Amino acid sequence: MMHFMLLFSRQGKLRLQKWYVAHPDKVKKKITRELITTILARKPKMCSFLEWKELKIVYKRYASLYFCCAIEQNDNELLTLEIIHRYVELLDKYFGSVCELDIIFNFEKAYFILDELLLGGEIQETSKKNVLKAISAQDLLQEEEAVEGALKEIGLL
Amino acid sequence: MNNSSDTGFNPAFNIASIRQVINEAVEKVRMPTPMRLRDLIRQIRAARTAAEERAVINKECADIRTSFRDEDSVWRCRNIAKLLYIHMLGYPAHFGQLECLKLIASPRFTDKRIGYLGAMLLLDERQDVHLLITNSLKNDLNSCTQFVVGLALCTLGAIASPEMARDLATEVERLMKSPNTYIRKKAALCAYRIVLKVPELMEIFLPATRSMLSEKNHGVLITGVTLITEMCERSIDTLQHFKKVVPNLVRILKNLILAGYSPEHDVSGVSDPFLQVKILRLLKILGKKDPEASETMNDVLAQVATTTETNKNVGNTILYETVLSIMDIKSESGLRVLAINILGRFLLNTDKNIRYVALNTLLKTIHLDMTAVQRHRTTIIECLRQDPDVSIRRRALELSIALINSHNVLTMTKELLTFLETSEPEFKAQCSSSIVLAAEKFAPNTRWHLDTLIKVLVAAGNYVRDDVVSSTIQLVSESGAQHGGYMASKLWVELEKDTSDKQPLIQVSTWTIGEFGDMLLQQSDDHAITVTEDDILRVYHKLMWSPQNNLVTKQYTLNSLMKLSIRIKLNVDKIHEMVASFTTHMHTDLQQRGIEYNQLFNRYDQMRDGLLERMPAMESNRTQRSQWNETIENISSSNDLLVPDVNPETNDSNALLVLLEGTNGESELIQNQNFTVMPSTPDTQDLLDLLGGLDLNNQPMQPLNNLTTEISITNGSSVNLNTNNLLDSLSLVETPIINSNKVKSPGTVTAYDQNNLLITLLVERDQMNIDSNTVNMTAYNNGSFTINEFLFQAAVPKTFQLQMLPPSSNTIEPGSFLTQIMRVSNVSKSQLRMRIRLSYTTNGVSMQDQTEVNNFILPPDPFGTTLDLWSENQ
């Protein structure tokens, strides 16, 4: 099971954090800071895995963003790389060649996409198409509500 | 939304005007009074300093708080979204928790979506607000909109606490049977989290879980497999229950491999690797220790192992999982070789991640099939030598160490020594200790062993751990008669070079030259170099006064110099001079040594030869150590998840490391012994330490005891009390013994010293039988009254056998003593303990007392000395 996923920039700014295991805020911050420093200090020729406490950390850099996941000892680290890649593909499809700014300004969308891919730290959907379908259906639901609200406001509904 | 007819839709509006109105309305919603999320993010990003950013955020947080205070809910959604951004930047956002719950309770989907997102980010299972959220979740789990149910399930899966799990388990179970796959897969993972939190809730999910495997949808399949895996890991009953799904899983996996290209699940030419890995993992758990289940899956595992495309990470992901499964189940031996070979191929992969995984897995599987792993030794060495990634080199090092056996010890040691010379400092300590342990275990002959140790000391310099110093000295001592001169000359060559960054080397060298200096000075074929006394003294002078050398090294050097004073012929005065120069040394320990050795030259010169003669060879404790290895090996391998059947021939040098760390019961023993020896060498105060040199072993103290004997006699006749240091040192010898003019033997333990009665125990080893010890009890009467009816009783733990011989008498006159001999056989070789009961009458009063003795100093035998003692030399 994945314990958490962090997205952060090359400058060490946190862009997304998803925790599947409960920790007090203080601990979360400490872990985040520690991992960001460790990973940013690693050289590109080093492998994507590190042992950290009882967990395995799997990370991969895409452009200016680092995707970092903490998994358990008996989880498959190579598969975790695939999950990260799948998530990046989904973001890319959704935003259309995604960049860091897309994730900064639409962080909630990035969370929504992640929540359709993983649930409780495990994969729930292996089809890209299904994930994107679910997201766009929900976006549509929101849009309908916005229009409806606007119509109500001016007394049309 | 459904009451448009009630409000009266006016058909007079044409489409264009409707569109205009809508646009305006949308615009109006988008441009409200509170700042938009987008604008806030822009503002925060525009802040040039941290203080500026803080100011922006503080102001916004204040606005958000005010807005929260109003019951007006129009901007709640936007405010929470902003707050979540602020939270991610590391600012406190807990005041938004309740607002999230309000959003969740809203009927609007937009509110719910942000509300649940906020709940997942701001709440976790520790929060008290759970009662409130549980109600909302319950409502939404019953919603008729699948996405509302989805949000609720997602949130439950992320932050479920045990209480929430209990409250909502039945709802989740109901949803697991939903015909809607979107809801079904999410419910399955929720059930997974609930089982994780409250394993006893597993029962209610069992029926719904089983049917998930017959589903076509991959989302439902993968979540179902995940849930089953978790259940099987939690309960053995469930594991048995799910054994029958093995054929189903095999079929699903087979279909995945054989099925043609399906765009929906294809990842670089592999069909749904996520699902394949999950199934392989479940198969591993189901097939473990189950020959029948393993038999069923053998074929498909072989199929996966041979047909999977290996160009990309995806294929290797599946192969990696397959290898793990093959290793864990009762698979055919051919399949195991195939698995190890897959890992061997991984080692040659250009992707560093795959090499890392391979090394890691090989390390875990080495117990299973040592020979198969050995086949890849050269590749592993290659990784050790050349890989640019430190973590890969570390794995390769661990693996290389684990691979050493008696066949390859020569080549492997050579490789490791080469690595040691060039490796980063962080590797040197571990690597050097490992080489030493491997050499000890597999050395083909002593000469090679000694050479290896010297190479380690030279290559690793100051990174050498203390245990290497002590084990080297031990080995030199053991093989002294044969190899002392050789070692002395070899080490001399190294000592002449610049050694300031190799303190352990200096320590070993000076110890060796101190002991075998005479051999070094003799000409022999064994060593071609000529060394003169002047050379030695010149180097020693440099060593002793070099500021780079640490205290311990100087202590070694000074002791060694003292030892040399009887091994050289011409320059004794020079040595005296050098020793004397330490009598004013800044450091108290060196000063004390200087003063005491100086006394030895001045006052007790005739005793010098006896005191400084060569120490008897230390006896090896290797036999026992190998016994320990076996027990530890069994322990460590049974802990290993990947080891279903232990190969008794497996030699694991890691076990030695475990031993030194002292994780098993036996090593308690070492510590006890340490403890008993330590009190006789409190800090740097006593003579024992100084003259015994650097060894706290019992045996090397023997020459020293001659000294105490003689000095105690001197003391008796002389009134000169100014020889402070020597007398101080004697204070550890019991004064009553001196009074009674009785010579105290080494290893004597005071068992009882009260009411003018002193009882000492001396353990002696029985020459005929190593398992048997003789304990000599001596009772002294230091008082002025006769002790009558003296009765001495003793009891030992059940692991010992005790036989008491009759005492020499049952009365003790004042100033006199009686003795009694006991035989103790100790087959279990544990630390001897004894409980003593005494009864006697003195001056008409009958006395009774009892005490326990557990600080016996056992005579030197294979079990009395341990490597660890060596590190205690300061």
pLDDT tens, B706-725?
A: 433 333 333 333 333 343 44
**Residue of A103, A124, A156 to mutate for B, most B C-beta atoms under 10 A:** A124
Q: What is the CATH number of the domain that holds B823?
A: 2.60.40.1230
Looking at chain B, which residue has its C-alpha nearest residue A22? B124
Which residues are within 8 A (CB) of B272 and not within 5 positions of it... i.e. 6 or more apart? Answer: A126, B218, B256, B265, B266
Contact indicator for B621, B628 with CB cutoff of 8 Å: no
Residue B776 counted as domain residue: yes
Query: What are A18's strand-pairing partners?
Result: A5
Looking at chain A, which residue has its C-alpha nearest residue B263? A127
Q: What is the pLDDT of residues B773-832, one digit of tens each?
A: 788 888 888 888 888 888 888 888 877 778 888 888 888 888 788 888 888 877 666 777
CB spacing of A78 vs B316 below 8 angstroms: yes
Is the CB of B725 inside 8 Å of chain A's CB atoms? no
* Range among A132-136, B774-778, B859-863 with highest mean pLDDT value: A132-136
CB spacing of B21 vs A154 below 8 angstroms: yes
The whole-number average pLDDT for the span B362-373 is: 83
Q: Please identify which residue in the block is written with the tokens 């005010």.
A: B66
Q: When comparing pLDDT for A29 and B125, which is higher?
A: A29
Residue that terminates a domain, selected from B616, B633, B650: B616
Task: Please give the radius of gyration of chain A, using alpha carbons only, rounded to the nearest integer.
Answer: 18
Q: Is pLDDT at B651 greater than 80 in this prediction? A: no
CB spacing of B84 vs A153 below 8 angstroms: no
Is the CB of A100 inside 8 Å of chain B's CB atoms? no
The token pair that represents B581 in the structure block: 């120069």
Mean pLDDT for all residues in chain B:
79
**Residue of B22, B130, B354 to mutate for A, most A C-beta atoms under 10 A:** B22
Q: Look at residue B637 and give its three-state secondary structure.
A: helix
Contacts of A146 in chain B (CB under 8 A): 26, 29, 110
pLDDT given for residue B527 in this prediction: 54
Residue-wise DSSP of B593-623: HHHHHHHHHHT-GGGHHHHTSPPPPPPP-HH
CB spacing of A82 vs B357 below 8 angstroms: no
**Lowest-pLDDT range, B118-122, B510-514, B656-660?**
B656-660
Q: Sorting pLDDT into bands at 50, 70 and 90, what band is B585? A: confident
Residue in A45, A155, A157 nearest the CB of B389:
A45
Residue in B275, B316, B353 nearest the CB of A126:
B275
CB spacing of A79 vs B182 below 8 angstroms: no
CB spacing of B124 vs A22 below 8 angstroms: yes
Residue in A20, A128, A153 nearest the CB of B28:
A153
**Lowest-pLDDT range, B115-124, B161-170, B295-304, B484-493?**
B484-493
pLDDT given for residue A11 in this prediction: 93
Q: Is pLDDT at A8 greater than 60 in this prediction? A: yes
pLDDT given for residue B770 in this prediction: 62
CB spacing of B317 vs A79 below 8 angstroms: yes
Q: What range defines the domain where residue B813 resides?
A: 748-853
Looking at chain B, the whole-number percentage of residues with pLDDT higher than 90 is 32
Number of domains making up chain B? 3
Contact indicator for B730, B740 with CB cutoff of 8 Å: no
Contacts of A124 in chain B (CB under 8 A): 185-186, 189, 219, 222-223
Contacts of A14 in chain B (CB under 8 A): 88-90
Q: Which domains does chain A have, with CATH numbers?
A: 2-154 (3.30.450.60)
Sheet holding B845-853, edge to edge: B787-795, B834-842, B845-853
The whole-number average pLDDT for the span A22-43 is: 93
pLDDT given for residue B429 in this prediction: 87
Residue in A23, A29, A150 nearest the CB of B22:
A150
Residue B220 counted as domain residue: no
Size of interface A-B (CB pairs under 8 A): 194
CB spacing of B193 vs A145 below 8 angstroms: no
CB spacing of A155 vs B4 below 8 angstroms: no
- B681-689 long-range contacts (CB < 8 A, ≥24 apart) are B681/B872, B684/B588, B684/B589, B684/B592, B684/B874, B685/B728, B685/B729, B686/B728, B686/B729, B686/B732, B687/B596, B687/B725, B687/B726, B687/B729, B687/B730, B688/B729, B688/B732
Determine the Cα–Cα distance for residues B607 and B601; give it in Å rounded to an integer: 9
Alpha-carbon distances of B800 from B186, B769, B772, B832, B866, rounded to whole Å: 64, 14, 10, 8, 22
Residue that terminates a domain, selected from B601, B616, B631: B616
Is the CB of A127 inside 8 Å of chain B's CB atoms? yes
Q: Which of residues 772-831 of B touch A (CB under 8 A)?
A: none
Helix-helix angle B390-403:B653-661, to 10 degrees: 100
The whole-number average pLDDT for the span B160-166 is: 91
Contacts of A105 in chain B (CB under 8 A): 38, 41
Residue B327 counted as domain residue: no
Contacts of A138 in chain B (CB under 8 A): 109, 113, 147
Count of other CB atoms within 10 angstroms of residue B783: 16
Q: Look at residue B836 and give its three-state secondary structure.
A: strand
Q: Is pLDDT at B653 greater than 80 in this prediction? A: no
Closest CA–CA distance from residue B343 to any residue of chain A (Å): 14
Is the CB of A129 inside 8 Å of chain B's CB atoms? yes
Q: What is the pLDDT of residues B206-245, one digit of tens each?
A: 999 988 999 889 999 999 999 999 999 999 999 999 999 9
Q: What is the pLDDT of residues B532-548, one digit of tens each?
A: 888 888 999 888 888 88
CB spacing of B274 vs A123 below 8 angstroms: yes
Residue B511 counted as domain residue: yes
Q: When comparing pLDDT for B866 and B235, which is higher?
A: B235
Closest CA–CA distance from residue A120 to any residue of chain B (Å): 5
**Residue of B77, B84, B113, B395 to mutate for A, most A C-beta atoms under 10 A:** B113
Residue B1 counted as domain residue: no
Contacts of A83 in chain B (CB under 8 A): 274
The whole-number average pLDDT for the span B148-176 is: 93
Which residues are within 8 A (CB) of B830 and not within 5 positions of it... i.e. 6 or more apart? Answer: B669, B797, B799
The whole-number average pLDDT for the span B465-475 is: 86
Q: Which of residues 370-389 of B touch A (CB under 8 A)?
A: 388-389
CB spacing of B320 vs A112 below 8 angstroms: no
Is the CB of B273 inside 8 Å of chain A's CB atoms? yes
Q: Is pLDDT at B4 greater than 50 in this prediction? A: no
**Residue of B6, B27, B192 to mutate for A, most A C-beta atoms under 10 A:** B192
Is the CB of B493 inside 8 Å of chain A's CB atoms? no
Residue B844 counted as domain residue: yes
Contacts of A153 in chain B (CB under 8 A): 25, 28-29
Closest CA–CA distance from residue B243 to any residue of chain A (Å): 21
Determine the Cα–Cα distance for residues B285 and B294; give it in Å rounded to an integer: 10
Q: Rounded to the nearest 5 degrees, what angle is found at the Cα of A147, between the Cα atoms of A142 and A153?
A: 125
Residue B4 counted as domain residue: no
CB spacing of A157 vs B4 below 8 angstroms: yes
Residue B157 counted as domain residue: no
Residue-wise DSSP of B499-550: -TT-HHHHHHHHHHHHHHHHHHHS-BTTB-----HHHHHHHHHHHHH-TTS-
Q: What is the pTM of this model?
A: 0.68
Closest CA–CA distance from residue B211 to any residue of chain A (Å): 17
Closest CA–CA distance from residue A63 to any residue of chain B (Å): 19
Residue that terminates a domain, selected from B91, B123, B155: B123
pLDDT given for residue A124 in this prediction: 95
Determine the Cα–Cα distance for residues B247 and B293; give it in Å rounded to an integer: 9
CB spacing of B313 vs A78 below 8 angstroms: yes
- Cα distance between the two ends of chain A: 48
From the DSSP assignment, how many helices (H) and strands (E) are in chain A? 5, 7
pLDDT given for residue B526 in this prediction: 55
Closest CA–CA distance from residue B641 to any residue of chain A (Å): 10
CB spacing of A127 vs B219 below 8 angstroms: yes
Residue-wise DSSP of B68-133: HHS---TTHHHHHHHHHHHHHTT---GGGHHHHHHHHHSS-HHHHHHHHHHHHHH--TT-TTHHHH
Q: Which of residues 227-266 of B touch A (CB under 8 A)?
A: 264-265
Contacts of B392 in chain A (CB under 8 A): 47
Closest CA–CA distance from residue A47 to any residue of chain B (Å): 5
CB spacing of B223 vs A124 below 8 angstroms: yes
